[in-house]
Structure 1
Amino acid sequence: MDDDNECEECESGAPAWMATFADLMSLLMCFFVLLLSFSEMDIQKYKQVAGSMKFAFGVQREVEADTIPRGTSVIKQEFSPGTPSPSAIPVMKQQTQDDSRDELRVNASVSPELDELLAKIEEGMKEEIDEEVVELVLLSDSVMLRIRESDAFPSGSAEMQSGFLPVLDKLETLLEGEEADSRIIVSGHTDNVPISTTLYPSNWVLSAARAATVVHYLSEVRTIDPDRIEIRAFADTQPVADNDTPENRARNRRIEINISVPEEEY
C-alpha cells in the first residue's frame, strides 16, 4: 500500500519552470518578429554590399536587382560563374594634343576663338594633362577643366591641398590675356554617398564650399576679376559615371572650371 501511494504522488511531464520558460521564449520571438515587420532595408547599402560580394567572389549578375529582394532569401539567384582572368590594372586614357580633336569635342559646332582657347590651355597645362591631374573637355560654348577630388581636396573637406595651388596659378596666368568679359564658372560635384558633419551637413554644402574655396583663391589670392567668376554647386545631381563602384564614385567627386569666350565673338 505504501508503494502505491508513493506512485500516485509522483509528478508526470516537464518541470513547472519549463512552462514559464516557454512563455518567455514565445514572447521574445513575437517581439523580434514585430521589430522585423517595422524595419526597412536600406537599398543603397544593400546594393553596395551586393556589389562588393560580386567582385570578391568573381561572379557576374545577369539580371540587375532594381528592387529589394523579397521571399525566403535576400540573395539574388540570377548569378553565373565569372570567367577566371588576371586582374587588369585600370588605365585611364587622357585626351592630349596628339589625340583626335573630334574625340575631345562634345559638340563640334564651336567658334574659332573657343578652339584657340582650348589649344592655348592644352599647351600651357600639358604636364598636368599628361599626369592626369587635369582633364580637358571642349563643349559648345566653353572649355572645361575637370579636376578630381583626390588631386584638389582631402576626403570630406573643402580645404585645398597644396599640390592643387600650382594648377590654379598656371590657369590664372593663361587667362591673363583673355577678354575681361569672358566667364569662369567653378562647379563643385560629389558622389551619392551622403555626408553629415558639423561643417558639411550635406553634399550640397560640401560641393558649394569646395567651389567657393577655388573662387576665393582665384579672386582674392590671384588677380582674376571677381565679376568674371560664378559659383555653382551640384552635389551628386550630375554624375559623369554610375555610382556603383568606388572608382566611379571617385570620378564623380570633382571640381569643374568652365571658361567661355564672349558671346559677341561667335
Structure 2
Amino acid sequence: MPRSAKEEAEEGAPAWILSYADLTQQLLCMFVLMFAMMKYDVTKAAVLRQAMETFGKGLPPAPIESENNALASTIFTEKIPELYTVGAKYPGPIEGMNLLVTRVHEGLKITTEGVSEFEEGSAELSDDFKAILDSMAEQFFRDYPNVIEIRGFTAANAEDSVNGDHSLLSYNRAKNAADYLINQKEKTKIDPKRIRVTACGNNDPLVFQLDLKQRHKNRRVEIIVSEELVRPSH
C-alpha cells in the first residue's frame, strides 16, 4: 500500500542534510582553531583598520608610509591611558583655566575651560588662549608625529560672523590658531605638515544660544590629536 504524503513528511530531513550539517560544524571548529593559533600582526591590523575606516568616504588613504608608522599609531593608541585620564581636567598656565581631554574616534580631543578664546566677530586669539596653546603643545603635541586637526567654531548669532558668513570666521579662527603654533615652532616644536584646519561654522554649540553669559564658549577651536601620522620634516 503506497504511503501518503503526510507519512513521507513526518520522516524528517533526508540523511544527506545531516551529513552536510556535520561537515559545516567541523569546518567552523577548524576555522576557530586556526584563528586561535594564528599570530596576530599588530602592524597589518592597524593598516587594515585604517583602510576600512577610509573606504566609502571618498577620501584618499591616510598617509601611512611604512609599517613602522602603522605600528607607531597603534602604540600611541595603547599609550592613551598613560597619557591622560578620560574626562580629566589638566590645569592650564593661568589659574581657573583647564585643558579638557576626551577620547574620540580620531584620537584625542582637547578643549579649554574657563578661557575666552575669541571676542565676538573676531578671529584674533586672546592672550589667555595663546598661553593655553603653548601648554597644549608642551603636554600633548610635541612628542608624537601625529596629525593635529584644528577645528574652528562660531556662535550662531549674526554678530559672530563675517558679513553673515560663519564658515569664514570659523576658518579664520582655526587658521590663526594653526599659524600661532607654526610660528612658535622653536617653543612648540610642531612640524607644519602635521597641522590641518577645518571650518565648522556655528555647528555643534556647547551652550544654548540665548544664554548670553555663556555664549562665548561657542566661539572656540577644538584640537584633535589624530592617530594618523605624517613623516616629520628634515
TM-score bracket for the superposition, by shorter chain length: 0.5 to 0.7
For residues 63-122 of structure 1, give each alpha carbon's deviation from its aligned partner in whole angstroms, at most 9, with x where no partner exists.
xxxxxxxxxxxxxxxxxxxxxxxxxxxxxxxxxxxxxxxxxxxxxxx9432333335996
Q: What are the Cα deviations for residues 193-221 of structure 1, in whole angstroms up to 9, with x where unaligned? A: 01387xx2222111111100000011122
Determine which of 180, 187, 192 is the counterpart of 2:156: 192
| 2:11 corresponding residue in structure 1 | none
Match of 2:174 in 1: 211
Deviation track 1:5-31 (CA, whole Å, cap 9, x = no partner) reads xxxxxxxxxxxxxxxxxxxxxxxxxxx
2:116 corresponds in structure 1 to 151
Query: Structure 2 residue aligned with 1:225, among 183, 191, 197?
Result: 191
Secondary structure at the aligned position of 2:121 is classed as: coil
Which residue in the other structure is 1:78 paired with?
Answer: none
Q: In 2 relative to 1, CA 169–191 (structure 1 residues): closer, same or farther, beyond 3 Å? A: same
Q: Give the Cα separation in 1 of the matches to 2:207 and 2:160.
A: 23
Structure 2: segments with no counterpart, 5+ residues: 1-75, 230-234
State how 1:115-194 maps to structure 2 within 5 Å: 115-119=81-85, 125-127=90-92, 131-147=96-112, 151-174=116-139, 175-178=141-144, 180=145, 182-194=146-158
Q: Distance in 2 between matches of 1:112 and 1:129?
A: 31
Percent sequence identity is 23
Q: Which has the larger radius of gyration?
A: 1
Q: Give TM-score, length-normalised by structure 1.
A: 0.48
2-side partners of 1:252 and 1:196: how far apart?
Answer: 10
SS of the counterpart of 2:84?
helix
Normalised TM-score (structure 2): 0.54
CA contact (8 A) 2:107 2:225 kept: yes
Q: CA separation in 2, counterparts of 1:216 and 1:147?
A: 19
Q: Which structure 1 residue ranges, 4+ long, deviate > 4 Å from structure 2?
A: 119-123
Q: Of the two structures, which has the highest relative contact order with CA contacts closer than 8 Å and spacing of 6 or more?
A: 2
* One-letter amino acid matched to 2:215: R
Q: Secondary structure at the match of 2:148?
A: strand
User: Aligned with 1:163: secondary structure?
Assistant: helix
What's the Cα RMSD here? Answer: 3.2
CA displacement 1:216-264 (0-9 Å, x = unmatched): 011122231111111011111222333232245333222101112347x
